[in-house]
Amino acid sequence: MSACKQCRYIVQTKDKVCPKCQGELSEKYSGMVVILDAERSEVAKIVEVNVVGSYAVKVR
């Protein structure tokens, strides 16, 4: 899996660019949060995302 360097979205494909923001992907990321309900999730507010999915905590 790879994570986007810009929005931290985790993709499970071998794509080279993020499907959300076209940002560069990196395999060097740590931590993962899963947003199931972006509207109500407190975690979503903390990581500042508004789309359901998996996000890396840190991307290098």
Binding string, residues 34-53; x marks residues near Zn ion by CB under 5 A: --------------------
Q: Is 6 an interacting residue with respect to Zn ion (CB under 5 A)?
A: yes
Site string for Zn ion, 8-37 (x = CB under 5 A): -x--------x-xx-x--------------
The full DSSP string for 9-46 is BEE-S--SB-TTT-PBEES-EEEEEEES-TTT-HHHHH
Nearest to 10 by CA among 54, 59, 58, 40: 54
Residues binding Zn ion (CB under 5 A): 4, 6-7, 9, 18, 20-21, 23
